[in-house]
Amino acid sequence: MARKVVNRKELRAQNDAAEAREKTKKSTKEKTPKAKKEKAAKDPSKVAAKKPSRKKTAKEARMKAYWGVYNQGMKRLAMFEYSDKKAAEKKAADLMASSRTNHFIQLVKEAITE
């Protein structure tokens, strides 16, 4: 089945003619005094501009690193300073020796409260 060929030049001419008619209608409406008053009231350039609000930036919390000793259920049993990794490993080894469950150390980062 053959399709109808669309003539884009004719469509463009029709569109331009319609836009020209709309512009002439708008210009005749603006000549009336009532329309001028309404336009002045609605004109966004005449209205005072709203100040942009300043958004507060989120303050980044300072973090401190610790070593945490955990059991298999992810329950923290002890905490050690970051520099005391050997003490944390020793505590995990002692807990594994005293009970049948596994214990391990994991790095923990917590926010510093001032």
Condensed to tens digits (0 to 9), the pLDDT of residues 54-100 reads 888 888 889 999 999 999 999 999 999 999 999 999 999 999 999 88
- DSSP percent split of the chain into helix, strand, coil, nearest 5: 40, 20, 40
Does some domain include residue 17?
A: yes
Name residues whose C-beta falls within 8 Å of residue 96's C-beta, 6 or more positions apart in sequence. Answer: 102, 103
Range of the structural domain that residue 26 is part of: 11-40
Q: Is the pLDDT of residue 113 over 90?
A: no
Does some domain include residue 56?
A: no
Distances (CA, A) of 81 to 58, 64, 76, 92, 109: 28, 9, 14, 15, 11
CA 90-70-88 angle, to 5 degrees, is 25
Q: Are residues 68 and 107 in the same domain?
A: yes
Does some domain include residue 93?
A: yes
CA 88-89-95 angle, to 5 degrees, is 90
Instruction: Report if pTM > 0.75.
Output: no
Q: For residue range 23-63, what is the model confidence (pLDDT) as tens digits?
A: 888 777 666 566 555 555 565 556 667 788 888 888 888 99
Does some domain include residue 5?
A: no
Does some domain include residue 84?
A: yes
Total number of domains constituting the chain: 2
Does some domain include residue 46?
A: no
